Amino acid sequence: MEKVKYIIFLIAFILSVFLVKFLIPHLRNIGIVQFERDEGPGSHKVKEGTPRGGGLVFLIAPLFLLLFYRDREFLFLYLALALNGLIGLVDDLLTATKKHSTGLTIKWKMILITGIALFLYFFARSFLSSQLSIGNISFQIGNVLYLILFLAIFVATPNAFNLTDGVDGLLGIISIPVLVTIAIFSNGLTRDFSFIMISSVIAFLWFNSPKASIFMGDAGASALGGAIAAMSVLGKFELLLPLIAIIPVLESLSVFIQVGYFKLSKGKRVFKMAPIHHHFELSNWSESQIDFRFFIVTVLFCILALYLTR
């Protein structure tokens, strides 16, 4: 059975490559392309017109696991992936319709993501546990506190992954060590789900490394964030998620710090631009340097998380 799974992962990778290659001209033809923010880095203007929505492949690859899993836990993982991906897809479609970088408003994104988080909590309630652990240390926090933690994870993670998706290849390449670490933490369904996600992310990166032929889009970034949030809950390593997903955490913090300081100081900034990957772009780091260095930081924090579970 395990050998069959490995073959399925390989097949999923190959089919994902062909699907992304198919999406590139078709997304361009129907106008689902990148529109850059006016206030964004000037170097990003050349990215306008690049097809956006390659992350749709993330919603398809996990369906191969239906050959092995047809239980409520698999449905929980897939719904976390697909429902968040659909919100991102709506955002991508609105961007294409408006021919502008703004799609869904922040207000509507938060309402929809919170609604999905609540739905997923009650859907998975029968197999959720309010017990948290790090290594050999375990403790109960009660159902109410766990609901708050669950909602925080499922609202923050897709948003943080969306913020990270702003440089060619960045979100994809840091997702690899995150997913590998999840596979090490887990077994059974969660491990296999992380492997199938790795296969589709690598297939997408084939076309997304600088200079990108296609972008992940909000559909892919939100789906990836939703899936990783769900795997952290099912695999019971919720408290370690901020470590293994350190880059999305830092990207989110940089936005909060920038916006908060801007308001308090009446116009001053901490960073040249937020999220923080733009700060480094304006500090003359190339996109490849940002990808590689953020990847190294992710690997180091994933190693730290693995050490804490020994």
**Domain enclosing residue 35, as ranges:** 2-242
pLDDT of residue 6: 81
pLDDT of residue 248: 96
Backbone angles phi, psi at 33, to 5 degrees: -130, 170
Closest of 302, 293, 277, 281 to residue 160, by C-alpha:
277
- Residue 219 within a domain: yes
Cα–Cα distance, 85 to 92 (Å, whole number): 10
- Residue 247 within a domain: no
Q: How many helices (H) and strands (E) does the chain have?
A: 12, 2
Closest of 163, 159, 147, 164 to residue 87, by C-alpha:
159
Judge whether 310 and 137 are in contact, CB under 8 Å.
no
- Residue 72 within a domain: yes
SS3 of 218, please?
helix
- Residue 202 within a domain: yes
Residues of the chain with pLDDT under 50: none
- Residue 12 within a domain: yes
SS3 of 208, please?
helix
pLDDT of residue 136: 81
Number of domains the chain is built from: 1
pLDDT of residue 101: 67
- Residue 71 within a domain: yes
Q: Measure the N-to-C terminal CA separation of the chain; round to a whole number of Å.
A: 29
pLDDT of residue 201: 96
What does the chain come to in residues?
Answer: 310
Instruction: Give CA torsion, residues 283, 88, 250, 252, to 10 deg.
Output: 100
- Residue 191 within a domain: yes
Whole-Å CA distances, 111 to 103, 104, 107, 155, 164: 15, 11, 6, 10, 21
pLDDT of residue 209: 80
Whole-Å CA distances, 126 to 115, 274, 287, 303: 19, 40, 44, 32
Judge whether 226 and 84 are in contact, CB under 8 Å.
yes
Cα–Cα distance, 54 to 27 (Å, whole number): 9
**Which residues make beta-bridge pairs with 134?**
137
96-102 contacts at long range (C-beta below 8 A, 24 or more positions apart): 96/30, 96/31, 96/32, 96/33, 96/52, 99/31, 99/35, 100/35, 101/35, 101/36, 101/37, 101/38, 101/40
- Residue 161 within a domain: yes
Give per-residue pLDDT as tens, 38-86.
665 666 677 778 888 899 999 999 999 998 898 999 999 999 999 999 9
